[in-house]
C-alpha cells in the first residue's frame, strides 16, 4: 500500500526528520514487479531504501520511497570446502553475519556490526578490518527497473573497487538488488592483520580464536570507537580514505612526519581521512547541531536537531580545510539525496 507524506526519521541513521511524498514497504519480488508496472508508480522518481545507513537527505523527498523488507537466508549449494549462502536483500547485514558465525562459516566475521542491509552491501562493496564483501561475493540477482527482468551479476560484472561498484556508477538507479549469494568457508581462515584485532583477542584471553571470538573482538572495537546511530545520528565514515601517489605522500611526509599511510598494490598509498581531519582540529568539536565524533574524526554526527543541509555544510567545511592544509580533496562515502 502506498502512503503519502511519511516521515523518514526512523529510516535514516542520521535521524533526519524529512518527509517522503510517497512511501511503501515491499516484502516480495512480485511486489517490486508490480511497482515497476503499476500506472501510478511506473514513472515516479523512486528511492529504494535498505537500512538508510549511508544516506544524507538534503531535503524532503518528492517521489516514492520503497522500504525493502524482502528477508531471508538460505543455502543455495555446497561443496566440501564452501557453503554458498543466498540472502535476500532486505535482510539486516548483521543478521547474516550472526547466522554465519553461529554456523562456523568463515568469511564475513570481520564485517560484524556494519549497519545496513544485504542489498546495500554490494552497492558500495562494504569493508572493514581488512575484508571487503568482494572477497566472498559470488553473484547477485537484480531486477531491471525498466523491464522487470531478473539479471545475474557475477563478481567481475559488479566492477568492485574501494567502496565502489557498477551500481554506484554506470548502472546507478537502473536495478533493484533482490538477492546476494556469498561463498563462505567451512574451514574458516582468520584475517587478523588489521589494527587492533590481535591485541583485543589477547586481551580477551583467546589463544586459538574462533570466528566467534573474532566477531566479538570486532564488535568490541567498533563499539569503543563508532557512535551507535540509535544514540547519536551518523552514517559511519563520511569520507573515503584518499589514495595519493607515493610522490605526493613523500612531499607531505616532509611537512607532517607523523602522517600514517597504507601501501597499496598499485604503488600508491592510502592516507586515513580521519587523521587529516583530526589534524585540522575538527575531532570532538561541536558546530551547532553537528560536528566530528570525539573518538573517530571521520564520523560526522547529528547531535539531535541538525538538518541535512547543516550536516552537508559542515562536511564541505571539513573538506575545504583538509584541502587547504594538505592539498587533498576528500570525496564523500555517504550518498546525498
Among residues 85, 184, 201, 298, which is the contact residue for ligand EPU, using CB under 6 A? 298
Considering the complex, state which of residue 158 and residue 221 has its C-beta at the smaller distance from ligand EPU: 221
330 is a site residue for ligand EPU (CB under 6 A): no
275 is a site residue for ligand EPU (CB under 6 A): yes
Place of cell 562494504: 126
Q: How many residues bind ligand EPU (CB under 6 A)?
A: 19
Among residues 66, 302, 333, 337, which is the contact residue for ligand EPU, using CB under 6 A? 333
| Annotated catalytic residue 139 | no
| Annotated catalytic residue 237 | yes
Considering the complex, state which of residue 6 and residue 274 has its C-beta at the smaller distance from ligand EPU: 274
Among residues 87, 216, 241, 319, which is the contact residue for ligand EPU, using CB under 6 A? 241
Pick the catalytic residue: 163, 165, 215, 307? 163
Q: What are phi and psi of 23, to 5 degrees?
A: -150, 140
Among residues 91, 179, 296, 307, which is the contact residue for ligand EPU, using CB under 6 A? 296
Residues in region 85-144 near ligand EPU by CB under 6 A: 128-129
Mode of pairing for the β-strands spanning 286-287 and 290-292? antiparallel
Site residues for ligand EPU per CB under 6 A: 128-129, 194-195, 225, 236-237, 240-241, 260, 272, 274-275, 278, 283, 296-298, 333
Amino acid at each position: 500500500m502506498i502512503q503519502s507524506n511519511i516521515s523518514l526519521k526512523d529510516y535514516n541513521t542520521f535521524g533526519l526528520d524529512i518527509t517522503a511524498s510517497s512511501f511503501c514497504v515491499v516484502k516480495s519480488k512480485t511486489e517490486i514487479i508490480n511497482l515497476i508496472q503499476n500506472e501510478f508508480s511506473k514513472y515516479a522518481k523512486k528511492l529504494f531504501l535498505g537500512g538508510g545507513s549511508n544516506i544524507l537527505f538534503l531535503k524532503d523527498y518528492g517521489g516514492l520511497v520503497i522500504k525493502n523488507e524482502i528477508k531471508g537466508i538460505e543455502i543455495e549449494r555446497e561443496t566440501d570446502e564452501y557453503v554458498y549462502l543466498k540472502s535476500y536483500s532486505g535482510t539486516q547485514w548483521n543478521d547474516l553475519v550472526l547466522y554465519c558465525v553461529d554456523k562456523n562459516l568463515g568469511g564475513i566475521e570481520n564485517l560484524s556490526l556494519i549497519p545496513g542491509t544485504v542489498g546495500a552491501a554490494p552497492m558500495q562493496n562494504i569493508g572493514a578490518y581488512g575484508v571487503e564483501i568482494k572477497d566472498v561475493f559470488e553473484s547477485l540477482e537484480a531486477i531491471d527497473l525498466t523491464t522487470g527482468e531478473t539479471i545475474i551479476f557475477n563478481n567481475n560484472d559488479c566492477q568492485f573497487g574501494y567502496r565502489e561498484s557498477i551500481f554506484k556508477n554506470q548502472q546507478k538507479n537502473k536495478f533493484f538488488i533482490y538477492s546476494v549469494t556469498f561463498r563462505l568457508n567451512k574451514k574458516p581462515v582468520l584475517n587478523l592483520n588489521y589494527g587492533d584485532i590481535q591485541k583485543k583477542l589477547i586481551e580477551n584471553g583467546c589463544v586459538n580464536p574462533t570466528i566467534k571470538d573474532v566477531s566479538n573482538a570486532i564488535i568490541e572495537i567498533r563499539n569503543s570507537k563508532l557512535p551507535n546511530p540509535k544514540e547519536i545520528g551518523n552514517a559511519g565514515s563520511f569520507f573515503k580514505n584518499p589514495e595519493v601517489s607515493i610522490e605526493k605522500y613523500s612531499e607531505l611526509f616532509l611537512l607532517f612526519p607523523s602522517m600514517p599511510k597504507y601501501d597499496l598494490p598499485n604503488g600508491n598509498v592510502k592516507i586515513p581521512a580521519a587523521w587529516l581531519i583530526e589534524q585540522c582540529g575538527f575531532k570532538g568539536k561541536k558546530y551547532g547541531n553537528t560536528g566530528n565524533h570525539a573518538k573517530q574524526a571521520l564520523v560526522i554526527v547529528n547531535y539531535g536537531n541538525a538538518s541535512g543541509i547543516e550536516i552537508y555544510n559542515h562536511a564541505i567545511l571539513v573538506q575545504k580545510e583538509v584541502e587547504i592544509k594538505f592539498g587533498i580533496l576528500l570525496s564523500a562515502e555517504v550518498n546525498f539525496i
